[in-house]
């Protein structure tokens, strides 16, 4: 990774944060009754929010993008923290679709399906949103349309920042030393750490799953290696939401914390079950090679199981976030305002 790649990475971070700020400010200005009503209807119940989050993520193939939008909505007051919990859980399930699409590339005709779905990725429609945004912002006299243009521009800049960060570290994907790090960790806990670090670096669980699938196509990785890595990848994808919430308000930080705690708890439960099942010798395929379809299935089963187990505890996840990230004390607020 050269110094220019590092500079591109810093540029991506700057664009990402600026886009997040612009989108949040514009949402706060234009959060009228209609937008409140639409989101209230779609996320009024936790299960509705779950379906909404899963559907959006399945279409745009990015749980990071969905979670970042949720953080922006919560920060602007358009969405409440309790509404965000179901959407975040649904986003974790919806991201499994990408692994199945990636697996299709390994069979004949997969390319056509993949190219069709690629039109629904944020990188495909971001230019259209950017053009619409600049038209609304520059040529509209009405405040609502100008705010809509700023929302579209902010989202576009945010997506460009994400792409810039991913491209800056994409040189590592083809680096044999970087790829082979996935196989160094026979210890499941270290495997979780490897998946977490890999995903945090490439800023996308979909991308890291794709790397793992491409490496599995060689037949060199076993089930016992892959399962902990997949679990760790779910934690690593939380970095994007944490980054988005850094300059935001308390509730936005709580939303990103819910995303992190959900995946950490799910990984702890999944890893415990994995160690028990393997110790009891209940299945004999742990030492067999894993292929692209097996990775997609494992990713989906793990995300669905985690969602089913933790979904009844949506309110508990919200309370946990409020306990960890407390409201600012009056004294702290006064001191901050005086600076």
From CA 257, how far away is CA 249, in angstroms rounded? Answer: 12
Is the pLDDT at 169 greater than 70? The verdict is: no
Distances in Å between the Cα of 219 and the Cα atoms of 19, 193, 290, 293, 295 are 41, 22, 7, 12, 12
pLDDT digits (tens, 9 = 90+) for 205-233: 777 777 777 777 667 678 888 899 999 98
pLDDT digits (tens, 9 = 90+) for 73-89: 888 777 888 888 888 89
Is the pLDDT at 119 greater than 80? The verdict is: no
Q: pTM of the full predicted structure? A: 0.70
Confidence of residue 161 (pLDDT cuts 50, 70, 90): confident
Confidence of residue 28 (pLDDT cuts 50, 70, 90): low
pLDDT digits (tens, 9 = 90+) for 33-65: 555 566 677 777 888 888 888 887 776 666 777
From CA 59, how far away is CA 163, in angstroms rounded? Answer: 18
Mean pLDDT rounded to a whole number for the chain: 77
pLDDT digits (tens, 9 = 90+) for 280-300: 877 778 878 888 888 889 999
């Amino acid at each position: 990774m050269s110094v220019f790649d590092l500079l591109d990475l810093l540029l991506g971070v700057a664009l990402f944060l600026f886009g997040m700020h612009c989108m949040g400010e514009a949402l706060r200005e234009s959060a009228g009754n209609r937008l409140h009503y639409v989101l209230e209807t779609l996320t009024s119940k936790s299960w509705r929010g779950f379906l909404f989050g899963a559907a959006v993520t399945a279409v745009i193939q990015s749980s990071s993008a969905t979670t970042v939008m949720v953080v922006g909505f919560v920060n602007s007051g358009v969405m409440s923290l309790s509404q965000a919990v179901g959407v975040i859980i649904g986003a974790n399930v919806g991201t499994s679709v990408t692994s199945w699409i990636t697996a299709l590339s390994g069979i004949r005709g997969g390319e056509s399906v993949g190219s069709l779905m690629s039109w629904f990725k944020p990188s495909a429609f971001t230019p259209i949103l950017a053009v619409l945004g600049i038209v609304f912002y520059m040529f509209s006299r009405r405040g609502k349309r100008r705010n809509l243009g700023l929302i579209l521009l902010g989202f576009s800049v945010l997506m460009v920042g994400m792409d810039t960060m991913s491209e800056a570290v994409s040189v590592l994907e083809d680096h044999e030393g970087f790829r082979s790090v996935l196989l160094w960790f026979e210890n499941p806990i270290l495997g979780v750490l490897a998946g977490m670090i890999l995903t945090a670096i490439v800023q996308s669980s979909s991308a890291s799953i794709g790397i793992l699938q491409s490496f599995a196509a060689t037949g060199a990785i076993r089930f016992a290696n892959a399962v902990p890595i997949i679990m760790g990848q779910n934690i690593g994808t939380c970095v994007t939401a944490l980054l988005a919430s850094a300059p935001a308000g308390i509730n936005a930080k709580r939303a990103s914390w819910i995303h992190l705690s959900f995946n950490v708890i799910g990984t702890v439960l999944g890893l415990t079950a994995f160690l028990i099942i393997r110790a009891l010798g209940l299945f004999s395929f742990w030492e067999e090679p894993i292929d692209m379809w097996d990775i997609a299935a494992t990713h989906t089963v793990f995300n669905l199981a985690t969602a089913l187990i933790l979904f009844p505890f949506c309110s508990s996840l919200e309370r946990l976030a409020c306990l960890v990230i407390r409201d600012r004390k009056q004294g702290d607020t006064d001191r901050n305002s005086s600076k």
